[in-house]
Structure formats: structure tokens, C-alpha cells
Structure 1
Amino acid sequence: MSGDRFGDESTSAGFSLVAVLVFMLIVSAIVVPFAVTAKTRLMIANNEVEQERLSLLAEGLANVVSSELANVSATEKLPLDATPTACRSGEFSFDIRIQDHGGLIDLNAADAHLLSLGFASLGFDLQTSEELAEAAIQFRGSTNAFAAQAEPVTSVGPPQNKQAPFESVSELQEFSALASTPLQDLYDAFTVFSKRGTLSLGRASSRLRTVLAGASGSGTSTTQGASEASTYSVQVSARRDGSGIIGQSGFMIENFPASAAGFRRLSRSPAADIIKLAATTSSGNCDALFGTEAAQILRGFAS
């Protein structure tokens, strides 16, 4: 009888062990997904905080650069033709691009020839570039409203002509031939703020200079010297070593002495291609780019 009792106890213990294991499996099946979800949400929250932190840092540095541009003497140390420059402070690196709008083609003031060169810099062939230039002139309006209404809409142009000046370079994406052109590429060639029918060759981007050099002697409306600048595009990116998260800030400004900062914002600008910037820039001294006071703040931020 003792043997039967021992066998019953062993069977009972076996069932208890199986029950405990099943219970643990059920609890694990319930708890593990919650733990994984919580960990994922924490990671996402940390990434969002880092993104916001870097974006605010880039915004502040863009304001610092804009204040420097309001001082004419400060423009001598900064490239104003969209050439990327960079600096490091601790574990942080910063990329800066500044474009003087005197080195861009004004969509409202340029003639058809200069406009066509701008479109050629985007990779279009000569015929398409000329068609786009004519479409841009039709779009912005004619001195003869009745004649303008009679002009047919071109195949490369927008569905309907505005018959008013361009208010933003982004309006070019209404053109059928430009709908897929990255907005940043359009802003690298055109502006609506220079109000001049010429552009300063020394402030033009490398891509524009290449096209303009090939058109030398063909009546291109360019000036060799740097004319007095009043409008700039400023783009700043910030990132931490070992992180794929990047904070960005970009806007267009104009000199405005009535403001305490010496400038005012005109509009936001699209972000530059950070991958391209990282491949073409070498890190320098942040004191030279942002000034001694801002560089000291950065060192404290990075420590």
C-alpha cells in the first residue's frame, strides 16, 4: 500500500510540475509582448527627444549664422555659394550651407536665356530648357494680358498660367517637366528674392557655374564681382557621433537693420541632402563658423 501511495504522490507531483510549466508559458506569452512593446516605445521616445534636441540646436546655430551675415565683414569668412562647411564640438558635428541669392536666377526678373541656363543646370537638354524658360515667362505673366491668354499652355509647363509673379520657387513643381525634380535642386538654381535680371558668378553654385562657363560669350546676364547681398539661404544640420539621427534647420533671411538681430526670416527652405554634405565636408573649427561665444556654449553642451 505504501508503494501505491508513493506512486500517487509521484503522479500528483508530475501533474503539478506540468501545471506550473503551463502557467509559466501562459504568463510569458502575455508578459513578453508587453515588455517588447514597452521597450520599443521607450526607444522611439528617446529617438524623438534626440531628434527634437538636435533640431533645436540646429535652429539656434542657424540664428547665430544669420546674425553674422547681417554684419557685412562676417561674410568674408563664410562661403556664400552653397559650398558645405563643417565643424566639430565634442561628439557633435555640424554642417552649414549658405547661399547668397545674388548667385541665383530670379524667376521674375531673369530673361529667357538666363532662365534656360538655370533649367539646363538641372540636367535638361537645350530644347527642353528653352521650352521651360518660355513656360516660366508665360506663367509669371505678360505685359499684354489679352495676348497672354491667347498663348497655349506648353507640354512642359503648368496646367494653367498664373499671370502673376512667382511667389516661391516651389511653384516650379507645378510644371509637368519639373514635378519630380527635388525641391532642393530647384532652390539651388532659382530665387524670387534677388529682384535682379543678372546673377553674381562668384556666388553661384558649382553646378550653375559649370553651365554658365559653357555659355560664356553668348549674352549671358552675369556679373563677375559679388554684388551687395541682402538675402541668403541658411541651412544647418547637427548630429551626434554613432547616431543616425540628424537635426536640421533651414530658412531664407534678409538683412533687416530695424531688428535687434539684424535680420528677419522670409520663409523656410528645404533641407539639404545630408548624405552628400557628409561626403564632401571636412570638419574645422566651430569658433570660426559660429563665433567664440557660441562655440563656448557648444563645448558646454557637448560635455
Structure 2
Amino acid sequence: MSAKRSGDESSSAGFSLVAVLVFLLIVSAIVVPFAVTAKTRLLIANNEVEQERLSLLAEGLANVVSSELADGSATDKLPLDSTPTSCRSGEFAFDVRIQDHSGLIDLNAADVHLLSLGFASLGFDRQASETLAKATIQFRGNANAFAAQAEPTTAAGPSENKQAPFESVSELQEFSALASTPSHDLYKVFTVNSKRGTLSLDHTPNRLRAIFADESGSGASVMQGVGQASAYTVEIAASRDGSGIAGQAGFIIEVLPASAAGFRRLSRNPAAEIVDLAPSMPSRATDCDGLFGTEIAQILRGWAS
């Protein structure tokens, strides 16, 4: 009798143990995914905070560089043709690109020859480049509202010509042949802010400079230098060692007349929103004092320490 009772108790204990193990497995199946999800969301949130902090830092430094461009102190110490310049402060690294718009092709002022060279730099052959150049001039049309007849549309251009100046380089993406061209590439060739029908080779980015080097004669529309620039593109990327995250800022600025002093933002640069601003070519290294000024460099060193 005693042996039977002992066997029943062992069976009951074994069943209880199995029940407890099953219960723990069920609880684990429910809790573990929540814990993993919570940890993942925490990592994502931390990364987003880090990127936001770095982006704010990059934007603040872009304002500093823009002020230096406005007062002329940066034009002699920094390349103005999108050549990357970098500096380090503690665990932080900064990459800066500045593009003087006198080195870009103005969509509203350039002639057919200059426009066709710009499209050729994007990879179009000579015939396609000339067709796009003519379509560009037809698109912007005659600013005279009383013109007898509007220019007809072409297959290379949009379905309807604007008959007014380009307000943004991004309008080129209305052209069927340019719809898939990244806006970043377009902004590296064209502008609407130089207000010149000429191009300064001194400040022309490599993409355009290579095209002009292949031309036997570029004509009067290309010059070795021009007067004081009126607009710049400023791009800055800020990163921290080991984080794998970069904060980016970029915008187009207009330098105000000497009587007004300073600068104003014309627009944000689409390049900074979608393109990794880390240099695709070897950057020109310098110290942050030379790049942002001694006072700002001291602040960065204090923040990085």
C-alpha cells in the first residue's frame, strides 16, 4: 500500500514538473519577442537621437562656414569647387564641401553651348546633350508675356514649356530624359543662382572640368575667374568614431551686399538629405581652427573631451 502511494506521488511530481516546464516555455515564447523588440526599439531610438545631435551640430557649423563665406574669410582658405576638406576634434570628424555657384551653369542665363556641355558631363552623348540644351531654352522661353507665339515643345522636354525662368534646378527632372537623374548630380552641374551666362573654371567641380578639358575651344562663356560670388552650396557631415552614424546638413546661401552684410539661406540642398557626404575622393585634411575658427574649435574640443 505504501509502495503504491509512493508511486502515485512520483507520477504526480513528474506531471507537475512537466507542467511547470511547459508553462515556462509558453511564458518565454511570449516574453522573449517583447524583450527583443524593446531592445531593438531602444537601439533605434538611441541611433535617432545620435543622428539628430550630429545633424544639429552639422547645421550649426554650416552656419559658421556660411558666415565666413559672407565676410570673405573662408574664400582664400577653403576650396570652392566641392573638393572635400576634413578635420578632427577628439572623437568627432567633420567633412566640408563648398561649391561657388560661379563654377556652375546657370539654367536661366547659359547659352546652348554651355548647357550642352553641362548635360554631356552627366553622361549624355553630344546629340542628346544638344537636344536637351535646346529643350531647356525652350522650356524657360521668352520672359516677355506679350511674345507673339510660344516656342513649341520638344520630345526631350516636358509636355508644356514654362515660359518663365527656372526657379529650381529640380525642375529639370520634369524632362523625360532627366527624370531618373539624381537631383544631387543635377545640383553638382547646374544652378539658378549665379545669374551669369559665364562659367568660372577656377571653381568648376571635377565633373565639369573634365568635359571642358576635352573641348578644343569653350568660347567666351568660360572664364578663368569672375568677380565676387553671390551664391554658394555648403555641405557638412559630422560623425563620431565607432558610431557608424553621420549627421548631415546642406543648403544654398546667398551672400548679401556689403551694405547689408551676412547671408541668407535660399533653400536646403537635396544632396544633404539622401547622399552620403563622406568624401568619395581623398579629402584635404586641416585643423578645425583653420576650418571653423579658433573660438568654434575650442568649443568643439571642450565638447569632445
1:176-187 mapped onto 2 (5 Å cutoff): 176-187=176-187
> 1: distance between equivalents of 2:64 and 2:5?
87
Q: TM-score if structure 2 supplies the norm length?
A: 0.93
1:32-71 mapped onto 2 (5 Å cutoff): 32-71=32-71
Contact 2:248-2:277 within 8 A present in 1 as well = no
TM-aligned CA deviation for residue 89 of structure 1: 1.2
> 1: distance between equivalents of 2:218 and 2:85?
33
Match of 2:19 in 1: 19
TM-aligned CA deviation for residue 74 of structure 1: 2.7
Task: Compare the two structures and name the one with the higher helix fraction.
Answer: 1
Match of 2:148 in 1: 146
TM-aligned CA deviation for residue 271 of structure 1: 2.3
> 2: distance between equivalents of 1:4 and 1:260?
103
Counterpart of 2:12 in 1: which secondary structure? helix
Match of 1:294 in 2: 296
Contact 1:201-1:226 within 8 A present in 2 as well = no
> 1: distance between equivalents of 2:277 and 2:267?
24
Q: TM-score if structure 1 supplies the norm length?
A: 0.94
Match of 1:88 in 2: 88
- One-letter amino acid matched to 2:124: F
Q: Does residue 255 of structure 2 align to residue 255 of structure 1?
A: yes
TM-aligned CA deviation for residue 254 of structure 1: 1.2
Cα-to-partner distance string for 1:160-184 (whole Å, 9 max, x where unaligned): 1100000000000000111111111
Q: Extract unaligned runs of 5+ from structure 1.
A: none
Match of 1:101 in 2: 101
> 1: distance between equivalents of 2:59 and 2:18?
61
Deviates more, 1:187-196 or 1:223-232: 223-232
Q: Does residue 126 of structure 2 align to residue 126 of structure 1?
A: yes
Q: Extract unaligned runs of 5+ from structure 2.
A: none
- One-letter amino acid matched to 2:253: I
User: What is the Cα-based RMSD across aligned positions, in Å?
Assistant: 1.9
TM-aligned CA deviation for residue 293 of structure 1: 0.9
> 2: distance between equivalents of 1:227 and 1:26?
75
Contact 2:232-2:252 within 8 A present in 1 as well = yes
> 2: distance between equivalents of 1:233 and 1:218?
25
> 2: distance between equivalents of 1:228 and 1:205?
18
Counterpart of 1:146 in 2: which secondary structure? coil
Contact 2:199-2:221 within 8 A present in 1 as well = yes
> 2: distance between equivalents of 1:2 and 1:73?
101
TM-aligned CA deviation for residue 46 of structure 1: 0.6
> 2: distance between equivalents of 1:174 and 1:254?
26
Contact 1:104-1:188 within 8 A present in 2 as well = yes
- One-letter amino acid matched to 1:269: N
> 1: distance between equivalents of 2:94 and 2:40?
29
> 2: distance between equivalents of 1:33 and 1:244?
26
Q: Are the structure 2 counterparts of residues 107 and 20 from structure 1 closer, same or farther at C-alpha, using a change threshold of 3 Å? A: same
Q: Are the structure 2 counterparts of residues 275 and 96 from structure 1 closer, same or farther at C-alpha, using a change threshold of 3 Å? A: closer
> 2: distance between equivalents of 1:47 and 1:284?
28
TM-aligned CA deviation for residue 72 of structure 1: 1.6
Counterpart of 1:266 in 2: which secondary structure? strand
Q: Does residue 153 of structure 2 align to residue 157 of structure 1?
A: no
Match of 1:76 in 2: 76
TM-aligned CA deviation for residue 154 of structure 1: 1.7
Contact 2:117-2:211 within 8 A present in 1 as well = yes
TM-aligned CA deviation for residue 146 of structure 1: 3.5
> 1: distance between equivalents of 2:43 and 2:119?
44
> 1: distance between equivalents of 2:149 and 2:120?
28
- One-letter amino acid matched to 1:104: L
> 2: distance between equivalents of 1:108 and 1:257?
22
> 2: distance between equivalents of 1:256 and 1:217?
34
- One-letter amino acid matched to 1:238: A
> 1: distance between equivalents of 2:121 and 2:199?
14
TM-aligned CA deviation for residue 96 of structure 1: 0.6
TM-aligned CA deviation for residue 192 of structure 1: 0.5
Deviates more, 1:133-142 or 1:224-233: 224-233
Counterpart of 2:217 in 1: which secondary structure? coil
Aligned residues: 301
Contact 1:251-1:266 within 8 A present in 2 as well = yes
TM-aligned CA deviation for residue 246 of structure 1: 1.4
Identity of aligned residues (%): 73
